[in-house]
């Protein structure tokens, strides 16, 4: 059987990839996908612990996260589409109207 630590290490690697993607990529869609990777990294960790402690709580939590992620995808993609229509670009560094 695969030990829990492997899952955790994989989750950590996925989370790191996701967060570096959010920080270094400028395309809004890419950033959005990276956020999804981070969410799934967390999901993986939760499921891993759930199995390791033999408790169902973690899995229930994962379902909640998926629901929220789905809702977030709907709203987030709609925002990105509108952004593209208005500004003609998806480069987040150019969207800085609210800065000081």
Partner 1 sequence: MLESFWILLLFPLAGAAVNGLCGKRLPHKLIGLIACGAVLASFLVAALAFVELTGRAADDRLVTVSLFTWIEAGEFVSRAAFLFDPLSAVMILIVTGVGFLIHVYSIGYMHGEDGYYRYFSYLNLFIFMMSLLVLGDNFLVMFVGWEGVGLCSYLLIGYYFKERFAGDAAKKAFVVNRVGDFAFLLGLFLIFREFGSITYLDAFQSVQSSYPGMETGFGILSLITLLLFIGATGKSAQTPLYVWLPDAMAGPTPVSALIHAATMVTAGVYMIARCSPLYSRAPETLLIVAVVGAATALLAALIAIGQRDIKKVLAYSTVSQLGYMFVACGVGAYAAGIFHLMTHAFFKALLFLGSGSVILAMHHQQNIFKMGGLKKYLPYTWGVMLVATLAIAGVPGLSGFFSKDEILWQAFSSPQGHPLIWALGVAVAGLTAFYMFRMLFLTFHGQERIEMGHHDDSHGEDDHSHHDAKPQEPGWSVRGPLGVLAVLSVLGGLVGLPAWLASTNQLHHFLEPSFHYQFVPEAHGEHSHALEMGLAGVTTLIGLMGIFVAYTAYLRRPHLPEQVSQRLSGLYRLIRQKFLVDEAYDAVIIRPTHWLSKNVLWKVFDDGVIDGAVNGTATVVQIWAQQLRKIQNGYVRSYATWILLGTALLFAYFSYFAA
24 belongs to the binding site for partner 1 (CB under 8 A): yes
Give which of 52, 56, 20 is closest to 37, Cα–Cα.
Answer: 20
Residues 28-57 that bind partner 1 (CB under 8 A): 31
**The two three-digit tokens of residue 45, written as one number:** 């960790």
Of 4 and 19, which has the nearer Cβ to partner 1?
A: 19
Q: Shortest distance, CB of residue 51 to partner 1, whole angstroms?
A: 23
For residue 67, count other CB atoms closer than 10 A to its CB.
10
Listed ranges 2-10, 16-24, 39-47, 81-89: which one lies at the site for partner 1 (CB under 8 A): 16-24
97 belongs to the binding site for partner 1 (CB under 8 A): yes
Spell out the residues 6+ positions from residue 54 whose beta carbon is closer than 8 angstroms to its own: none
Contact by Cβ (8 Å): 65, 42? yes
75 belongs to the binding site for partner 1 (CB under 8 A): no
Binding site for partner 1 (CB under 8 A): 19, 22-24, 26, 31, 92-93, 95-100
């Amino acid at each position: 059987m695969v030990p829990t630590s492997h899952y955790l290490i994989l989750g950590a690697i996925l989370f790191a990839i996701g967060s570096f993607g959010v920080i270094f990529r400028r395309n809004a869609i890419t950033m959005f996908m990276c956020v999804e990777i981070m969410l799934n990294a967390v999901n993986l960790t939760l499921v891993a612990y759930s199995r390791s402690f033999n408790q169902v709580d973690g899995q229930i939590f994962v379902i909640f996260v998926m629901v929220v992620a789905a809702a977030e995808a709907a709203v987030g993609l709609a925002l990105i589409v509108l952004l593209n229509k208005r500004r003609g670009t998806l480069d987040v560094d150019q969207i800085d109207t609210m800065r000081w």
